[in-house]
A and B are shown apart, each in its own frame.
Chain A
Amino acid sequence: MSERTNMVVGLVMMALLLVGAVPARAADEALDKSFDALKTYDWGANRAVLGAIDKAVVASNGKADAQKALEKRLAAVLGTDATGAAKDFVCRKLSLIGSAQSVPALAPLLTDEKLSHMARYALERMSCPESVKAMRGALQNTSGRVKVGVINSLGVRRDAEAVGPLSALLADSLEEVASAAAAALGSIGTSQTAKILGDFQKKAPEGLRLAAADAYLVCAERRLADGKKAEAMLIYKSLAKPDQPKHVRLAAMRGLLAATGKK
């Protein structure tokens, strides 16, 4: 290849790089504008101003460095005095690309009555252990319905390390809290929670009897799925007794039949 040809090829390549750089720079500028708009974004504003962030989040798939940088930028908004609407938007984006890096920014929102749900919206989807640890920690600092939400998310994540505090909540004076704790324990579905729920369903107050039974049935399914047929059978037998509501007894009988057929 002659020097002249080399030069031409070089120029063409530079031109191509420049052509590529222009839209990239435009995208960066649009992203900056969106982050600026996010500072004052509120309900009723035109959602289109946040469009560049939407696009950047989706485009970051498979680009670890870019995604980390974007995540960091998003998480930083949560510590500012941005509106609830802006933080709602950020939590939705972090629910898709958030990692352990975002947990410190999301964790404080768990105790905030208005933002707790959206913090869980992000954390519940994040598979890292830090996300469940943050929610476990929030059990101590929440009450009422906010606590119920945290319990529910721990149940969805089947956090075995939360069994201790969840067991204690079975005796909570609020039925909503105790009911949520029972459901979460059923969902976690270990041998330990089977024992706890077995005790609970025997002494559960009237308003919690159905919740206790359902949690125990769910637990039985989990035990069966883990190959613990004997444990599952024990649960089903205890729920098939006449002191249980008819539909619970029928569910237990169905479970017994299904379990019997399993090896």
Chain B
Amino acid sequence: MNRPTERSPDRREFLKRAAAGGSTVVAAAPYLITSTALGAAGAVPASDRITVGFIGVGGHGIARNLRTFLAQADAQPVALCDVDTRQIAKALEVVRKQRGESFSCQTTQDWREVIARSDVDAVMISTADHWHVPMSVAAIRAGKDVICEKPTLTIAGGRALVDTVKRYGAVFQMSTEDRSIPIYHRMAELVRNGRIGKLQKIYVQLPGGPGNPGDPKPKPVPKELDWEMWLGPAPWKPYRAGLHRSHWRWNRDYSGGNLADWGGHQLDTAQRANDTERTGPVEVEGTGKRHAGGLYDTYYEYHIICRYANGVEMHIDSGGTGLKFEGSEGWLGNSGWCKPIEASSKKILGSVIGPEELHLFICPQGEHRNFLDCVKSRRDPYFPAETGHRCCSVAHLGNIAMDLGRKLRWNPDTEEFADDAEANRLRSRAMRQPWRI
């Protein structure tokens, strides 16, 4: 499925021609091609496999993304990339356990080497948040399809991502499982079909944190880590053990905190139920608490109110996970991640969505399966760039409102704040050289 340049022969075309015996290279084919590559024993022929480069193979990158792709017969891992060589070794071990000890592929600390390959169809990006958009955009420009962890880092970055996806007609999936989880799908579908009457209020609970301020003291860079590449477009800072590998999320240079991370889950269902997936609130205000000192500077406690043009008011609060939708004729929601739906009446809970009503898309097999299917069909995946960007924007707007300590008016059409030049400055950040979007 890769889209090679004219000068670089297509790997699958080569294999197809070789398998058909219609090429002069076929003499070498028995030496080069295994029977499983040609589709024997129920295996997907190599020509129908999507070649995937894995960029960022930390905890989530391995446990969730690499392992799930390995379970897809039509996905072929061809590159493992991480700034930390210890993670590359772990990832390679995982692949070998599943694909055989003789498995080998490109391993590198430099993601640009992965997207430069003409035989890579798609990349799975599971890095820290500040790399999501620059890597995605570069990969798309190189002709790849992209599945990338959420969230974005800035509003301007998200818009640039959307524009690039649109420009090239690339398949882009913002990688979350929510649209494959029946509970969240059902909540959105019930609300969209008016089962609680006219939607009036949404209550979203997201985890807070960090619980401690972190140690800001610089430490020597581990020999296995390319710290400069880890930082990438973010402002230069010395290495601190409290950032890599696991706690970078608590620093605004690399993330929007749990508000942005968990927002990528719960805010998506909220926006979907509110039918505002491709727009956003018109007014935002919020208050939050941060640790005064230490290393971490994201809000560990927050309360944000978003008002939408349709009159719906959304409250986002730190403390656990949960959703509640209040309408003119009832409510529904849940308390806790993937917990069962509760509602104001049994009628709502048992309601059947009729064939003539609105049915929202769901892919119970998950975001990775949905992505692979879309790479083949060239359709938008279930959490495409625009929808993902708008979802992340809600979190960014919340952070900006808390940073400035005032109510902000937002125009979701122009993606500008009204009458607030300072707030508008916070939509983007200059990137450290040489990186750009």
* Residues of A in contact with B (beta carbons under 8 Å apart): 43-49, 51, 58, 61, 88, 95-97, 114, 116-118, 120-121, 123-127, 145-146, 148-149, 152-153, 155-156, 176, 180, 183, 210-211, 214, 217-218, 221, 242-248, 250-251, 254-255
Contacts and interface: CB of A to CB of B under 8 A. Distances in A.
A126 B237 CA distance: 23
Contacts of B431: 117, 149, 152
A25 to B, nearest CB: 22
A260 to B, nearest CB: 16
Interface in B391-411: 403-406
Contact of B422 (A96, A146, A176, A251): A96
B418 to A, nearest CB: 15
Given A47-B294, A61-B422, A153 B216 contact: no
B226 to A, nearest CB: 16
A100 to B, nearest CB: 14
Contacts of B294: 46-47
A246 B430 contact: no
Nearest to B145: A247
Most buried by A among B3, B168, B430, B436: B430
B167 A96 contact: no
Closest 4 CB pairs of A and B: A149-B433, A48-B293, A247-B143, A48-B292
Contact of B428 (A47, A88, A125, A211): A125
A126 B422 CA distance: 10
A114 B431 CA distance: 14
B176 to A, nearest CB: 26
B204 to A, nearest CB: 25
A247 B216 CA distance: 45
B194 interface: no
Interface of B: 3-6, 141-143, 163, 167-170, 216-218, 235-238, 292-294, 297, 403-406, 421-422, 425-426, 428-436
B428 A58 contact: no
Most buried by B among A46, A47, A88, A242: A47
B168 A247 contact: yes
Contacts of B436: 152, 155, 180, 183
Given A97-B422, A221-B167, A245-B6, 6 more contacts: A43-B237, A58-B403, A121-B235, A121-B429, A155-B436, A245-B3
B167 A156 contact: no
B167 A117 contact: no
A149 B169 CA distance: 28
Contact of B167 (A95, A124, A146, A217): A217
**Among A45, A88, A214: residue with most chain B CB under 10 A:** A214
Contacts of A247: 3, 143, 168, 170
A146 B430 CA distance: 13
